[in-house]
Structure 1
Amino acid sequence: MHIHHLSERPSILNTFISEIRDKTIQKDSMRFRRNIERIGEILGYELSKSLQYNSKTVTTPLGSLQMQLHNKDIVLCSILRAGVPLHNGLLNYFDTAENAFISAYRHHKDNPESFEIVVEYLACPNLENKTLILADPMLATGQSMVATFEALKPFGTPKEIHLVSVIGAQKGIDFVAKTFDINSHLWIAAIDDELSDKGYIIPGLGDAGDLAFGKKLQH
């Protein structure tokens, strides 16, 4: 897997990352969602440089010219609910993309320290020979990414796969790197070294879904 770690090189991206991490600023849910969206836009722009383009004629009021344009074969898939702001940021740039949505959550059985990933809802177009962008803001253990990809397999085989995350733990990145094809790509804004015993990224930012949309009742 090709790993693209964007914050290795300082840019305005670091401002948005610092604000979603800051325990005071992140209390503003609207700003938190907007920052995740802006990070998605930056990740999408960098991702776009790796896609395939064809020469097409564009006609202006005064003439015509050849431009390199993307093939418009993207399917953008997000993991609900935390993935919605990230999805919106990517969709701002890939506005002609088809869209898929999946719910994948941690189900704790008797032991609160362990969990399994449960998939309950999935809506997806045909993926055969298309460019799949799989977006999940927090790549902790990597299990959600892998479970989602397994659930998508009946919809066809993409010609290329791009994973997009805001913050990831090195352990989770290593896990998905072993699972996905060597030619797939991970586009990530920031990488943290630690993962807690409960599978949360440290220092991370907390629960992205709760920060974006409010606390949820457990079931």
Structure 2
Amino acid sequence: MGSAYDPVLVGFTPGETRLTGSLGHMRLHVVDHPLIAHKLTQLRRVETTSNVFRDLTRELVTLLSYEASGDVGTEPVQIQTPVATMTGTQLAGPKPLVVPILRAGLGMLDGMTAMIPTAEVGFLGMARNEQTLDIVTYAERLPDDLTGRHVFVLDPMLATGGTLVETIRFLKRAGAAKVTCICLLAAPEGIRRLEEEVGELDVALYVAAVDERLDENAFIIPGLGDAGDRLYGLAE
């Protein structure tokens, strides 16, 4: 239930998969839930309008964020209820940092902050240089030091994996302790690239589905089209 791919064909099944790299492992979580499967199906429909697409994206990310935040740091706290004193739980410092990748990642931000409203928000913009094919950072608004921080990266589509690989490396160089990536869809090619190139950096990836493959233009098949265009009405 909730699977949009043939696990025999691509080798990824719903639940957690540990992909072992040369120095460590990447944890892949394909979140199998009927509400996620239903909302993702509506998101894929070509007739889904931009305003509905944005609403569905927010709802999907909220559900995925619940799963992805299961290992966020906590600490005990003494509180007074109306009838007694007790030891409760609160999020520990430093605050989680949410980083949407511009531009399409912005459409996922509300869903994530609805789940963790106290999180700080940073931004990264990355693009491919068409001459060198390298991924370059064209915009960045992050704390200077990410030491000890748990960073949640938002990017709707994991296709070739190039942008996400460079984002993870960027955050790890800045000192991030944990990097958890949340994507709506992933292609097997992108997952394998992450495992091969950043698998040793202790990365977790949460997705609603792993699709079949990439086409010759690096679009995910069956996919949902260009997420940025569909979020902001440019595909209509």
Q: TM-score, normalised by structure 2?
A: 0.81
Q: Which amino acid aligns with 1:12?
A: L
Q: Using the alignment, how far apart are the partners of 1:105 and 1:64 within structure 2?
A: 53
Deviations 1:18-62 (A, max 9, x none): 01101112xx11110111111111111011222232221222233
- Identical columns (%): 28
Please report how far the alpha carbon of residue 115 of structure 1 lies from its aligned counterpart in structure 2 after TM superposition: 4.7
Equivalent residue, structure 2, for 1:205: 224
Equivalent residue, structure 2, for 1:183: 202
Equivalent residue, structure 2, for 1:85: 107
Q: Using the alignment, how far apart are the partners of 2:172 and 2:73 within structure 1?
A: 23
Q: Which amino acid aligns with 1:157?
A: G
Deviations 1:132-171 (A, max 9, x none): 11111100001011122333355x2112111111101010
Equivalent residue, structure 1, for 2:170: 151
Please report how far the alpha carbon of residue 215 of structure 1 lies from its aligned counterpart in structure 2 after TM superposition: 2.4
Q: Secondary structure at the match of 1:188?
A: strand
Q: Secondary structure at the match of 2:160?
A: coil
Please report how far the alpha carbon of residue 130 of structure 1 lies from its aligned counterpart in structure 2 after TM superposition: 0.7
Q: Using the alignment, how far apart are the partners of 2:118 and 2:202 within structure 1?
A: 24
Q: Which amino acid aligns with 1:15?
A: H
Q: Using the alignment, how far apart are the partners of 1:189 and 1:58 within structure 2?
A: 37
In structure 1, runs of 5+ residues without a counterpart are none
> Residues 54-203 of structure 1 correspond to what in structure 2 (within 5 A)?
54-72=75-93, 73-109=95-131, 115-125=133-143, 126-153=145-172, 156-180=174-198, 181=200, 183-203=202-222
Q: Aligned in 2, Cα 1:183/1:153: closer, same or farther, shift over 3 Å?
A: closer
Q: Is the Cα contact below 8 Å between 1:34 and 1:85 reproduced in 2?
A: no
Q: Aligned in 2, Cα 1:182/1:193: closer, same or farther, shift over 3 Å?
A: farther
Equivalent residue, structure 2, for 1:15: 38
Q: Which amino acid aligns with 1:123?
A: R
| Count of aligned positions | 207
Q: Secondary structure at the match of 1:122?
A: strand
Q: Using the alignment, how far apart are the partners of 1:204 and 1:69 within structure 2?
A: 38
Q: Is the Cα contact below 8 Å between 1:2 and 1:182 reproduced in 2?
A: no
Q: Using the alignment, how far apart are the partners of 2:162 and 2:109 within structure 1?
A: 19
2:63 aligned with 1:29: no
Please report how far the alpha carbon of residue 107 of structure 1 lies from its aligned counterpart in structure 2 after TM superposition: 4.5
Q: Is the Cα contact below 8 Å between 2:168 and 2:179 reproduced in 1?
A: no
Q: Using the alignment, how far apart are the partners of 2:57 and 2:133 within structure 1?
A: 26
Q: Using the alignment, how far apart are the partners of 1:38 and 1:134 within structure 2?
A: 17
Q: Using the alignment, how far apart are the partners of 1:170 and 1:34 within structure 2?
A: 27
Equivalent residue, structure 2, for 1:2: 27
Q: TM-score, normalised by structure 1?
A: 0.87
Equivalent residue, structure 1, for 2:21: none
